Amino acid sequence: MAERSLTDIELERMIAGDFSATRMAELEAKATAADRTRLDELRAEHAAFFGTVDVDAEVRAIGKKMQKLEPEKQPRSMWWRWIFAGGALAAAAATLLVLVGRRDRPDDDIGIKGDGITLRVHAATDEASTRTLASGDAVAPGTRIRFEVGGTKRGYLTVIGFDARGATTVYYPYGGAQAAVFDPASGGLLPGAIALDATPGAEKFVAVFSEQPFSVEKVAAGVQGKGAFPREVAHAEVVLQKALPEAPK
């Protein structure tokens, strides 16, 4: 099999037009035949997902939410242009960008381990790189993150957020009521990137896995800390601390 030179994250950001013209030219020159084949696969998966989404309705919902959270006009970053160019998805004060990827390399020392699964949170630091966040890390509103789940068994998975206001958001499958099919052999980098909202305080992200189908409602109490998780599920979590920037003196 031909060697890959580019990661899935780089390919996905190429699809979204998130790189400068210079950086895009560098990546295109570096891409191998295997990279181009994978790029075509990602484009097809991306298009298939957006065929199921009412993009216009979600864009309107995002606009209303951003007006409530950010009364002052803020400059739009490269990533925000990525979100709106690809089709925006509102998710309870966060923005979900659908991109399909696969796991590129293990980082078990950084991943937060649960019973049988691991959860990693990747943050974009600039147009060309990302870093993996650890539980307890401080992040600013607007930080763009993606989830990666590691496991050894096929089954069903959901990723849920629980913020300082007590709001719960299902990030994977986006807005779903049931866990999605999960196959670790297909790669653990999940579809979707979110830009963290402006709600200060801790936000907990929980990956929940079971070999049998289950509903989000069934695990909600465990995610919210109001009860125990069912015995048949495994879970792992990462908690990030969101802090608003200090006002100028």
CA 78 to CA 13: how far, in whole Å?
A: 10
Question: According to the model, what pLDDT value does residue 65 have?
Answer: 54
| Cα 65 from Cα 94, distance rounded (Å) | 9
Instruction: Residue 94: name the closest of 22, 201, 239, 192 by CA.
Output: 192
Closest by CA to 28, choosing from 49, 14, 47, 9, is: 14
pLDDT of 205 reads 94
Q: Which of 56-65, 77-86, 221-230 has the lowest mean pLDDT?
A: 77-86
The whole-number average pLDDT for the span 215-238 is: 93
Query: Which listed CATH number (1.10.260, 2.40.50, 2.70.50, 1.20.58) goes with 97-242?
Result: 2.70.50
Radius of gyration of the chain (CA): 18
Q: Read off the pLDDT of each residue in 219-233 and give the average, rounded to a whole number.
A: 92
pTM tops 0.75, yes or no: no
pLDDT at residue 54, as a whole number = 60
Four-point Cα dihedral 131, 137, 142, 148, nearest 10: 50
Residue that is written with structure tokens 């019973």 in the block: 115
The region of weakest confidence among 10-14, 88-92, 201-205, 217-221 is 88-92
> What pLDDT sits at residue 162?
92
**Whole-number pLDDT of residue 206:** 95
Residue 42 and residue 46: Cα distance in Å, rounded? 6
Average the pLDDT over each of 83-92, 168-177, 221-230, 237-246 and give the range with the smallest value. Answer: 83-92
Query: What mean pLDDT is reported for the chain?
Result: 75
Quick one: pLDDT band at residue 73, thresholds 50, 70, 90? very low
Task: Round to whole Å and give the CA distance between 179 and 191.
Answer: 14
Could you give the CA distance from residue 220 to residue 160 in angstroms, rounded to a whole number?
9
What percent of the chain lies above the pLDDT cut of 90?
A: 27
Confidence of residue 89 (pLDDT cuts 50, 70, 90): very low
pLDDT beyond 90 at 128? no
How many C-beta atoms surround the C-beta of residue 40 within 10 A? 11
Q: What was the pLDDT predicted at 100?
A: 31
Residue by residue, DSSP assigns 46-97 as HHHHHTTS-HHHHHHHHHHHHHHH--S--PPPHHHHHHHHH--EEETTEEEE
Is the confidence at residue 120, as pLDDT, over 50? Answer: yes
pLDDT tier, 106 (very low <50, low <70, confident <90, very high otherwise): very low
Is the pLDDT score of 82 beyond 70?
no
- Whether the bond into 173 is cis, omega within 30 of 0: yes
**pLDDT over 50 at 5, yes or no:** yes
Average pLDDT over residues 191-210: 87
34-70: per-residue pLDDT in tens? 888 988 887 887 676 666 556 566 556 555 555 554 5
Q: b/e string for 14-33 if b means 16 or more Cβ within 10 A?
A: bbbebbeeeeeeebeeebee
Output the pLDDT for position 4: 85
Which sequence spans correspond to the domains of the chain?
8-91, 97-242
